[in-house]
Amino acid sequence: MSRYWSAVVDGLTPYVPGEQPKLPDVIKLNTNECPYGPSPKALAALRAEVGDTLRLYPDSNCDILKQSIAAFHKLRPAQVFVGNGSDEVLAHTFLGLLKHEQPVLFPDVSYSFYPVYCRLYGIAYRQVPLTESFEIRVDDYLTPNGGVIFPNPNAPTGRPLALSEIERLLRANAESVVVVDEAYVDFGAESAVGLIERYPQLLVVHTLSKSRSLAGLRVGYALGNAELIDALCRVKDSFNSYPLDRFALAGAAAAMEDRAHLEQTCAKVIATRDRLAGDLISLGFDVLPSAANFVFARHPQREGVELAARLRERGILVRHFKEPARIAQFLRITVGTDAQCAALIAALSAILA
């Protein structure tokens, strides 16, 4: 501990992001980035933003982007909150909506930033075990709580929760907020956005980093009733009134308006994901059903950490999680291009041989 640190900092175990390699010619299948470029309309909007207006602050209310998001989801701008990536949106959500006397509930195998936020903000939490087949079981969440949050599809497992099950949870959990983190929903799961008008405790979080290929722009947003959105705005304006710059606002708004590009990108990723899963199964891997842009797979005779290291020697990066122990044999593999996935399968074939 540094003598200048606060007690809060000393007690933190920070989130560890996926490696961003500096070496050239690496096949990067470890951070769930999209293998295809952003919308050409988004790129044109970014180029058009270069000019003298950069000396001025951006719109603190992000009206243009909120209008584009609201139009896409058939909601009102007052039901939209935007932030610097969905991680910032989630951080404000934990502080503004999930900090209560009762513990917040989330899966034991899930996005590992959730417990980090809880420790940072002093939020009580309880991790609810997934089933033996790594599924979320709604009955396990029907207990008193200070809120519920989970990704759908879940990460790193990729397994989706049916919309009917999400609605069953909402019907039984009216006294605290339910947050559905839909970072990967565009790749095959059912979105809960259509339930917002009926359930005032529902908040749905999205990102432009995955299906819209804008991980480098850092834009995320939340959708919910105006009361929930107002809470997030109060936290944001007590922290940073200008979380999105002029480039992010312009590029993200244009990306939201290009529905055709979104659909084409997702269709290509889904098709490659299905082929990749089949190829892994043919090599003897157990592969969980995925509705995300990644697959979660283990080989019964080989350790995940060993396979990740052997792949790295061949210039291919995948993600391995040491904790919790029940997933230590798994690899999370981002769906890349067909050529990248073919190179992965060839490397695994050689390693297993």
Pair 337, 316: CB distance under 8 Å: no
Assess whether 233 and 278 both reside in one domain: no
313 falls within a domain? yes
Q: Strand pairing partners for 91?
A: none
The per-residue pLDDT for 323 is 85
* ∠ Cα 196 214 324 (to 5°): 70
pLDDT confidence bin for 1, thresholds 50/70/90: low
184 falls within a domain? yes
Assess whether 245 and 315 both reside in one domain: no
Assess whether 137 and 33 both reside in one domain: no
What rounded mean pLDDT belongs to the chain? 96
- Structural domain span for residue 32: 15-37+260-352
Assess whether 92 and 151 both reside in one domain: yes
Mean pLDDT of 172-191: 97
Assess whether 178 and 72 both reside in one domain: yes
3 falls within a domain? no
282-331 pLDDT per residue, tens: 999 999 999 999 999 999 999 999 999 999 999 999 999 988 889 999 99
Of 214, 296, 278, residue with least CA distance to 249: 214
Q: Compute and round to an integer the Cα radius of gyration of the chain.
A: 20
Pair 236, 243: CB distance under 8 Å: yes
* CATH classification at residue 288: 3.90.1150.10
For 106-216, where are the alpha helices, taking DSSP H only? Answer: 113-121, 163-172
Residue 224 pLDDT exceeds 80: yes
Of 42, 30, 29, residue with least CA distance to 262: 42
The per-residue pLDDT for 84 is 97
Assess whether 102 and 113 both reside in one domain: yes
Mean pLDDT of 192-201: 98
Strands (E) in the chain, as ranges, are 27-29, 80-83, 104-107, 125-128, 147-151, 178-181, 202-207, 220-224, 286-287, 294-298, 316-318, 330-334
The per-residue pLDDT for 22 is 75
Assess whether 230 and 245 both reside in one domain: yes
Indicate the residue among 232, 257, 282 that finishes a domain.
Answer: 257
Assess whether 253 and 267 both reside in one domain: no
* CATH classification at residue 114: 3.40.640.10
235 falls within a domain? yes
Assess whether 212 and 327 both reside in one domain: no
Indicate the residue among 257, 285, 305 that finishes a domain.
Answer: 257
126-158 pLDDT per residue, tens: 999 999 999 999 999 999 999 999 999 999 999
Q: CA separation (Å) from 40 to 47, 255, 256, 326?
A: 11, 8, 12, 42
8 falls within a domain? no
Pair 93, 232: CB distance under 8 Å: yes
Assess whether 75 and 123 both reside in one domain: yes
Q: At what angle do helices 226-236 and 85-97 cross, to 10 degrees?
A: 100
Assess whether 118 and 199 both reside in one domain: yes
How many CB atoms are closer than 10 A to CB 51? 8
* ∠ Cα 134 330 16 (to 5°): 95
How far apart CA 139 and CA 119 sit, in angstroms, is: 26
Bond into 153 cis (ω within 30) = yes
Residue 93 pLDDT exceeds 70: yes
Number of domains composing the chain = 2
4 falls within a domain? no
Burial string for 54-93 (b: 16+ CB within 10 Å, else e) reads eeeebeeebebbbbbbbebbebebebbbbbbbbbbbbbbb
Quick one: tokens of 257?
A: 């308006």
Assess whether 253 and 269 both reside in one domain: no
263-272 pLDDT per residue, tens: 999 999 999 9
240 falls within a domain? yes
231 falls within a domain? yes
Indicate the residue among 257, 281, 316 that finishes a domain.
Answer: 257
In the block, tokens 């809470």 appear at 231
